[in-house]
Structures are given as C-alpha cells and as structure tokens.
Amino acid sequence: MKKILLLIILITVALGQFTNEIAGWSKGAFYVPDGTIYSEGLIVADETVLASESLNEVDFATHITWDVTNDFDDTNGNASYIWSANQTSTLTQIQANLAIAGVDAVWYQFTYTVTIATAFDGDGTATITTAFASSAISLDLSIDTHSVYFKSKTTPTDFIISVVSGSDTEGMFEIDDVTLKQITGGNVDISGTLLIRGVDIGAGIGASTDDQKIDVFSVSGDNVQLSLEDDGEATKTVDISSTTAVGLNTSKITTQWTTDGNDIYYNTGKVGAGTPTPNAPLEVKGASPGVVGGFQSGNLHVTGSSAAQYANAVITGHSAYNTNTQLWYLGSTSTSNNDVGFHNRQNGSMHFNTNNTRKMEIAANGDVSIGESIDDVQPTFSIIGDADSDAADVSETFSFTIVPNANPLLAYIGFTLGQGLGYNFDKQIDITGNIIVSGTVDGIDIATDVGANTAKTGVTTEISNVVEDASPELGADLDMLTFEIKMDSEPDATVTASGAKG
C-alpha cells in the first residue's frame, strides 16, 4: 500500500513540473520518446533569435541609468552586493531608462556574468521581480555566465533584481555584462499530422493576446502572412467551415481590391475571368458558351430581376454624367422584354462600320446616310453604292437621295445612275410644279396617261430633241425649239411646234 501511495505521489509531482513555461533550460533539445506531455500549454521559443538590447549601460560604466538600494553598489564598474542581515536590496533600471520598453507577454532572455561569489549560508535569494516578469525568476549566483528565460508580464514596467537576506550570516557577489533581449524566433517542425483540439486554441500564432481562435500576429511589426501549402501534388484548397458567417477583416489584409462601404473596386490592372492574361479592364473568356432557353449564348449573361422597361440592359456606356452625348445601351426596350434595341440616349449620332470604314450613319436629328461618301452628303435619307444590272461586265453605280425643305424649290429627290441604267416607276408619279432637265433628253417612253385630256390609255408618246440649250440663263436668247409627238396607234399623226428666239 505504501508503494502505491508513493507511486501516486511521484506521478503527481512529475505532472506538476509541466506548466505553460519552461524556464532555465540550456541550449539544446527537449525530447520525449514515444510519450505524451500533459500541461497547461506548451510554448516553443528559439533563444538563438533575439531582438535588440533592452537595457542601457550593460557594463555599468557610468551607472547613471541604474538605481541601487541597501546592500547593492554600482559605482565600481559592476553591480556588487555584500550581505547584511534582514535586508531587501534592489538593482533597478526604471522603464524610462530602458533602451527598449518591455513588450507585453513575450519571452525574454536575461544573461549575466557572476565574477566573485560567496554563497548565502541561509535562505537568501536573488530574483527578477514581477514588475517586469510574469512571475519571479530565480538567479544562479555561482561564478559563471548564466542565462534565464522568462515571459514578460502584461504591461511590464521597471526591470528589478531583488536580493532578500533572511537567516543568512554571509553572502557576496558581483554582477557584470548584463543583457536583456526579447526572443523573436521559434519554429515547430512536425513530421506527421498536427491535431489541434479544444474550444479555444489559445494564444495563437505569434500573438500577444488570445482574442481569436487562431491569431496570427507579427511581433516585429512586419506584414503578417499566413501561407497554406501542399507538397505540390495535392489539390490546393482552403476549407473554412462555420455555422456562422465567415468574413475577412479587410483592415488587416493587403489586397489589390479596395472596399468603399458596400462597394468593392479594382483600382489598377485588369481582371480576367477564364483567362490569366486579360487584355482589357474586364475580359471574360471560356471554351464553351452558355445556353439560354435552348439557344447558345455568350460567356457573359446579364439577367434582369423585373419586367420593367430597360430592366435587362446588357451594356451601358458613357463618357461622363451631365452633358454626356455618348450615353448608349444595348438591351430590352419594352416592359415585356420581347424587344431588343441599341440605343443612343443623348444628342449624338450613331455609326456603323465594316472593314474599319464607316458605312452607315444615323445622325442625332434622324438623318440616315448609307454608303462610302457619307462625309460628302448630309441628307434626310441617302443611299450610295453599287447597283444591280442585267448587263454583263458593266461597272455601274446608283445613288438615291431625298432632301426635304420648306422651300419647294430646294426640296428634291435625287438619282444618280451609271452606264446602262434607266428609271422604272411601277406607280404613277404625281408632280405639281416644273420638271427641270439639266442636259439632253434622248427619249422618254410613257406607258400610261399623259395628262387627263391629251392622251389615251395605252398610247406611247415619244418626245425627242426637246431643248438644245439645256440650262439657259435668265434673260438669254433661246434657239428655235422643236419637238415632235408621235402616237403609235396613229403613226401618221404628228404635231410639230416651233418658236423663235426670245
């Protein structure tokens, strides 16, 4: 029974040695072969990676930044102590005199050299106090260079070494060449699987506080990076599962995207969907188009949420707000969304080009021009281009122009035809006013009535040699005019008229 109780006591004492701090170790490895560590936590720190010196006057050369009380003396180029009974003596560098102020809840290395020593013969102790450390740290006072490792308290202040003499009758030592540096290194190299269980992971990764499940924190103030990598063969994925919303704290993330309230925008560069090398601010690329209603569609779908007019506008372009003449859009034009239109919503013209050349223009006032010489004409409606012909190998052109005008003398319908073409009107032409011919009329065949009372249906009238001077100036002398009208049904009947000059 006694053996069992002793074993329980030994196990209890052994487990009690594992706390969330491992203080006073030497450089080397901590190895547990095929075992399990039960503790309040395990902190890994690499004492070979240190920050800058936190103390001033580490060699006590001038000792102006150090303060001593009772049995301590710092005037001889070191910090010396000579025992006296029942005294608490201190060696202090206040927070204001530190080279670097203490950092909250991080690991430090304190190194010091003991040159002369007479050991205490009672219960005398030397410690780093809790003004800076999270718990009192005992110091070895044997002749040697020593290093201790400890965690700072939250909001550390003065660095104090305190010596308390109790039942001792003697004790003396000298301390020199002291250093206090923050430990900034510490890696965990695991060959296998790291399993993290529990409600909270705790202090996190490099964090000064444990306010998150996993907290990645930069002690030095450098940019924090969390990298998840595989062995180069597995699929690269990050799986975040949560019963509540998962989001990014964008105030701590460096990204090319910029947020502004509920908006997000890409300020520089290009965005590619389906392509790693976009050639425009936004490029959408895909091997297969989509399908809408059984019909193939493009790679970009725009679906409206209502049946309102213009609800499904696919593209809207403009140069600026207010006096913008380039506000245009492509999309539905009816509340049923059955009609599709290409709109210019402002006072600007619309051009249609082929082969990088403008072929058709709809002006802002509604004028339409079709053809290659649009810059030379500004009609209400104009067509210029090649004409069809039954004649082989004949190069022919055709133009048709309608120009309305409030002045009837300036309003006209214009035709221009090339070689071998004629006019063919299937319907009656009703002309109120004069017919002006600028040139010579070789012949006119009229297959219907010529006037209400002068011809009969089916009679062909031929007019020839009408005007010798096609466009005489006002007041000029005119040559003798002669014209002859022949009726096909009565070939012998002719009418001849002549007139003198003037």
Q: Which of 2-11, 167-176, 215-224, 282-291 has the highest mean pLDDT?
A: 167-176
Pairing of strands 340-344, 328-332: antiparallel
pLDDT at 152 over 90: yes
Chain segment 62-115, per-residue pLDDT in tens = 889 999 999 999 998 999 999 988 889 999 999 999 999 999 988 899 999 998
Which distant-in-sequence residues (6+ apart) come within 8 Å of 66 by Cβ? 57, 60, 74, 79, 91, 92, 93, 97
Nearest to 71 by CA among 181, 208, 170: 170
Element (H, E) at 8: helix 2-16
Query: Looking at residue 222, what DSSP letter applies?
Result: P
Number of Cβ within 10 Å of residue 126's Cβ equals 21
Per-position DSSP letters for 58-78, written without gaps between them: TT-SS-TT-EE-TTEE-SSSS
Instruction: Report yes or no: 479 and 501 within 8 Å, Cβ to Cβ.
Output: yes
Q: Catalogue the E-assigned strands of 219-362.
A: 257-260, 263-266, 271-273, 282-284, 291-292, 295-296, 315-317, 328-332, 340-344, 350-354, 357-362
Number of Cβ within 10 Å of residue 484's Cβ equals 13
Confidence class for position 123, pLDDT limits 50, 70, 90:
confident
Which distant-in-sequence residues (6+ apart) come within 8 Å of 199 by Cβ? none
Which pair of structure tokens corresponds to residue 498? 């002549």
Cα separation values, 444 from 433, 434, 497, Å: 19, 16, 18
* Gap between the Cα atoms of 150 and 182, Å rounded: 10
Q: What is the mean pLDDT of residues 137-151?
A: 92
pLDDT at position 11 is: 46
**CA triple 169-171-172, angle to 5 deg:** 150
pLDDT at position 23 is: 40
Confidence class for position 299, pLDDT limits 50, 70, 90:
confident
* Gap between the Cα atoms of 152 and 103, Å rounded: 7
Give me the domains of the chain, ranges plus CATH numbers: 46-185 (2.60.120.260), 193-225 (no CATH), 255-298 (no CATH), 302-347 (no CATH), 349-424 (no CATH), 436-502 (no CATH)
HSE-CB of 180 using CA atoms within 13 angstroms: 23
pLDDT at 300 over 50: yes
Query: Looking at residue 474, what DSSP letter applies?
Result: T
pLDDT at position 500 is: 43
